[in-house]
Amino acid sequence: MSFDFLCKTILVGASGVGKTSLIQRYIDDIFIPEKDSTIGIDYKTKDVEIEDSTFRLQIWDTAGQEKFHISLSSSIYKNTNVLIVVFDLTNKETVNSLEYYFTEIENNCRKNPLIVLVGNKCDLIENQIENVEEKVKQISNEKEFKLFKTSAKERTNVNELFYYIAKTIKENP
Ligand code: GDP
Ligand code: MG
C-alpha cells in the first residue's frame, strides 16, 4: 500500500503511564488491564485518510529505560516528527517527570518536532490530580502544548489524539 505522508511519532513518559496501552488501543482496539509495563512494542503503523491523502503514522513505543533514567539513544529520536509525552492523570510524580522528558527532547531532537502532551487514565475519576492544566503549564515553562486527556481503557480521545497529529503534520509538514 502506498501513502502520501510518513510521520514518525514516539511516545515517551514515565513507566506505567499507559504508553503501550494507548498504542494497543489505537492500533488493535484492545486493552489489557494487568501487564508488565517493561514489555514494549517497537513500532506499529496505521494509515489515516485525511481529505484525499493517505497519512502513514509510524508510532514508536519506549519502555524500561525511564525507570533508570537512562537516556533513550539519540538514534531513536532521529527523523522524529512528533513526540507524545505521556503522564498519568492520577499520579503527580509522572507530571513532575515531564521536565525530564522535555530536556531529553531538547537535547536529542535536531529538528523542531511537534510535541503533544497526553494525560492518560481520565477514566479513574476519583483519583485525578487537581488543577492539572496549571501544573503542566508551569512545568512546560509556559510553552503552549496541546493537551489531550485520554483513557486507553475506555477509548476516550485516543482516535482524536492521533487524528490531531496527522492533521497538524499534514498542514505543517
Ligand atoms: P507504559 O509503561 O507507559 O507502557 O504503561 P502500560 O501501557 O504498560 O500501562 C500500565 C498500567 O496502567 C497497566 O496495568 C494498564 O492496564 C494501565 N492503564 C493504561 N492505560 C490506562 C487507562 O487509560 N486507564 C486505566 N484505568 N488504566 C490504564
Ligand atoms: Mg510500555
Residuewise pLDDT in 10s, the chain (173 residues): 688 889 999 999 998 999 999 999 999 999 988 776 666 668 899 999 988 889 999 999 987 555 555 566 677 788 899 999 999 999 999 999 999 899 888 888 877 899 999 999 999 999 999 999 999 999 987 778 999 999 999 999 999 999 999 999 988 87
Which residue's CA is minimally distant from atom 14 of ligand 1? 34
Which residues are near ligand 1 (CB < 6 Å)? 15-21, 33-35, 37, 63, 120-121, 123-124, 151-153
ipTM of the complex model = 0.99
pTM (predicted TM-score): 0.93
Read off the C-alpha cell for 129. 490530580
Residues 11 and 76: their CA atoms lie apart, in Å, by 11
Query: How does DSSP assign 1-18, residue by residue?
Result: ---SEEEEEEEEESTTSS
**Which ligand has its closest atom nearest to the C-alpha of 120?**
1
Contact 155, 115 (CB under 8 A): no
CA of 96 to the centre of ligand 1 (A): 18
